[in-house]
Chain A
Amino acid sequence: MQPVKRTPIVIMYSFLNLSLGVVIAQSLLVLAGLIYTFFTKSSLFLNSFVPVTVELTKDLNNALSHQGLNLPGLKGNLFITPLFNNTQLITYTGIVYNLFWNIFIIVGIQILKKFLFTLTIGTPFTLENAKRLRMLAFMIILVPLLLHIVCRLFINLTIPVTNGYITIKGNWDTFEYIFIGGLVFIISEVFRKGVLLQEENNLTV
């Protein structure tokens, strides 16, 4: 048996750590912003979170394809409602959605890191790894679904802008996540079967 080439694993591990750092930093920034907003009653995000407010009000069609509003796992229609009392109607659903998404990414990266670690120390064909893969599959399917259900419960997503608020009606558009999650689930089941076969083979004299 040839020794495992570790360079790609190390590169992947560093990449995962880097993305983890970026996601955590972003979440902390958003959290700090939320706390700041809560205490000072003036939003940090008004101009920075949705930078093209004026353009949005002018051009609805263009606003749909705008990158700044591209929330992961959510596609839908944009509605702009004029706002008279700015401070009362500001909601942070969009930001909270982003935070929940970040938590999902952090947990997912941790699972991937553990999996990669088992690759470096020995054989990855263990029941723990099969369980990890299965958990990842359920997460990929359930987390966007749950987020969509939550969005549906709150009717729409609302993002604060300076002279109004933008609502994004959440369409149930998680087919791609179900597909990817299903794929990972199949791999995990194949993995589990492989582990059992290997165990049986090891105990055959």
Chain B
Amino acid sequence: MSGEKVIRPDGRNYEDLRDTIRIEAGVLDRADGSAYLEWGTTMKLVKVDKSDGKKVEKWSETWPMIQTVEETKDGILVEFPKPLWHLIDELKSAEEVKEYLRGNKVYVAVYGPREPIPRHEASPYRAILRYRYTMSPFSVPERKSPKPSRRETEISMVSRLALERVLFLEEFPMTMIDVFAEVISADAGTRVAALTAASVALADAGIPMRDIPVALAVGRICTDEDATNCAIVADLNKKEEDMPGAVDMPMVIVPRKEEFTLLQMDGRVTKEELDQILDLGLKKAKELNKIQREALIRKYERVTENE
């Protein structure tokens, strides 16, 4: 690896997860267990006058997520990702307009153990697990047809397989456990966002589990198509997924035993790079696991306060 330094478009360090990851457990009343997750970049919209325009333009060449959204007579509207907010202080004229999340938003509901449908699929040995991953039509830039896609079917399957071993399904013969994940807002890494929330929703439903599985993506971004100058990075966002030579590896990790129950990859990487990717995954899984556990604890704190 040589040449210029690889820079992440939102100004993150290579090993950083996105700046905003929030999980709330027990958000849906009717479901047996549920979770809502937000996972993305908090953007600040700032109004600056023309005198700062040059500065902003130079920055956005380095970090493409600093973007001019609108030009008006009295100035320009620029958005800044959270890791680069410190730059706003260097501007003479900055006036904050608003903040918003550019990222994934997922609702997960868990039902069960309950009577299986269709009944003939029931097993006398274990509960059947169903996992349904879907995306809302308005979650992506081009409206997605509400019909189930091949992509959703595949993701649902690998997600189910990633969770089966972690659950004590053998405790609930002749039943079914349903996990429904709806992505209402998408910005790369939706399957891992859904799975991270699903683990919390399953725990919230009181399903006995060997551990709380963690899902995240680790990958590689480069400055060129031939991948001669690259960096291994955690938690790629949409801008990074679209970079030349990008490689994205979604994974599910069972943190206590450090085992992988989901692994997918497309791209072209060396053995050494793969090694680094898996290592970084294990490292970051611990961090995410903490967020999941805190979400579960918070729910019960809330219950005590209400009483």
Chain B binds chain A: no
Residues of B whose CB lies within 8 Å of any CB of A are: none
